[in-house]
Structure 1
């Protein structure tokens, strides 16, 4: 039986790498799949990993219809055994419903990859719908780390080096390079404590990491 899988983790946890590996493993067994992504860091219609791996992909626009695309492909005599769907947090709830319908009615496996929450620690609508509908949900075991060394659990957005908690949910930016000049818009992963305190790696360096006071006094 086909299934809808959702693989999730913070940034830097290897989601896109796993998406590419999943495609490789299935293709090596003679299965035919299609890859989808949106807002990839490397540009349109491309799935890329921070390890440097890339693969051509179908770009998922706001009005893209997965059901129509797959049915039209099959009607023309094409074959699809599985779908790889990266950056699935950016898909609309309707598009997630279409993926579930493809699994149930066409018996095509769907492997979706994405992050759960945005820079405000709120669920992306696409991720929320995947949590509601997925047959299997997998939390990636490769742990991203906060600058302090603790497990990173939150995605932070910075603007000109300062962490922000307001703004549009989807803004493409650079992944923070701690040794480079701050980008206009960038992202880094933090533990919950430092996300709450808005203490990014750059700000921690700026204050010389003086011992933090105890939360009482």
Structure 2
């Protein structure tokens, strides 16, 4: 039976790499996939991994009907055996409903990849709807690590190396930023204490010392 599968994890845990691997494996068996993505770090209409692999994708823009797009492709003689969706956390809840409809009505597997919570530890609407609808949820086994060596469970947004907890939910960046806005994966303890690798080094703080003025 076809499934809607949600592969989740923090940033830097290999979600996009796995999406590319699934695409490669199925393509080698003669299967054709449609790849959707949203706000990829490599630019519009790209699916990229931090290992340097990049492939073309369809940009799932705001308001786009993913089910209608696929039906239109098939009606024009196109072929599709499965669907890959990267950065699925950025999709709207109704677009996740459309993915479920692809599974149920078109009988295709849909593999969605995304992080569950934002830099404020709040669920993304797309991820929340995936948790509600997915046939299966898979936690990626490649664990990202906090700067302290513990398993990273939270995504932190940084500006000039300092963690911030306010701002727009979606700001495109990476864990190795070239500009002022970036992201870092942290364990829960250091996310609560707002201690990034940069602030810990700059302040020479012990992991057991609470920073001040962070009520």
TM-score range, shorter chain: over 0.9
C-alpha deviations, 1:123-174, integer Å up to 9, x for none?
Answer: 0000000000001110000000000000000000011221111110000123
2:187: which partner in 1? 191
Question: How many residues are treated as equivalent by the alignment?
Answer: 210
Q: Cα 1:211–1:61, aligned 2, differ >3 Å: closer, same or farther?
A: closer
Unaligned runs of 5+ in 2: 211-215
CA contact (8 A) 2:12 2:175 kept: no
**Structure 1 residue 163 and structure 2 residue 163: aligned?**
yes
C-alpha deviations, 1:97-137, integer Å up to 9, x for none?
Answer: 00000100110110000000000000000000000000111
CA contact (8 A) 1:161 1:183 kept: no
Aligned residue runs from structure 1 range 1-217, under 5 A: 1-176=1-176, 183-210=179-206, 212-213=208-209
Runs in 1 of length 4+ with deviation above 2 angstroms?
209-214
- Coordinate RMSD, CA, aligned: 1.3
Deviation at 1:209?
3.0
Deviation at 1:211?
5.8
Deviation at 1:86?
0.2
